[in-house]
Structure 1
Amino acid sequence: MRNRIVKVIAMVLATVLLTGAYCTTAGEQTETRADSISDNVITETTANMIAWDNTEVYLTRTQSDYDRMTEILQNRNGKIIIEVIEATVLDDDGNACDDFGFYVKYDSGKYEKGDRVQTAFVYNPENNYLDDILYIVDTLIVNAP
């Protein structure tokens, strides 16, 4: 079971981080823009959310997105929740700030001041704790000028 969860998480992260398009193919599943989930179709059901059978991916860009994430994380009940944020590195020590003012810390040796970084958090589906993160994946979006 754990192996299966790891494979699903790896597939989801690869899909989210490697494609920025609205149409993605992963085996038999295809993401479409629609208002409901049917069969094995990955569907964008609300703003900034993609859902598979037991996995949901959220792009958090505003304070209201963050507030919704708190409610979702407290009631995930076995769902694999992936939150994606974008942040800008503020100094050479790796201190960063996301689009709505929350602090993020990055590896100072990997990123420099002005870099734009996308971070994906994979939350533990076995509980509803807000800070129980299984995996964190950072990806450089834009180098500092």
Structure 2
Amino acid sequence: MDRVVVYCPKTDIEQWDEEVEENGVRSRSTYLYELIQEARAYRNEGFLSHHQAENRIEELEAEVQKLHRELKENNSHRGKSSRLDDVEFLQQFLKPEYQPLEELLKRVVASGAVDRQLRRPIENQLYYLAEQNIAEYERGHGWRLTQKGGEN
């Protein structure tokens, strides 16, 4: 055993004394020793100190802000010209060199724009046909024409 002198505000000492009484610890020095050991265990297990945690929080907040900006930018690009026949929309798929129409169409389809523009109207019409008993949907199988829908 060796003596350690700790310099701190009197209010901290008073708070430690209260915690000693609340936790039923023998003495302030035993209490502080246990706190130090506990903190050491946290640090060894990868838990961050208060200062490290604050730095990590700032890093994560900056990352979140960056991702929000990127998302906002992507959404603004998508919202500006999302019609398939819009000039600005099509210009983003053109290259300085010639490319066959099939390659251009593949790039447009791969962007998801076709799916975004066609999916909702087609789904709406399929549900309308289901309400009219012309089509029906079965989970795991998909859509089909009903017998009534096949009648002319």
Q: TM-score, normalised by structure 2?
A: 0.25
Q: TM-score, normalised by structure 1?
A: 0.26
Q: Which structure: larger Rg? A: 2
More contact order relative to length (CA 8 Å, sep ≥ 6): 1
Higher-strand-fraction structure: 1
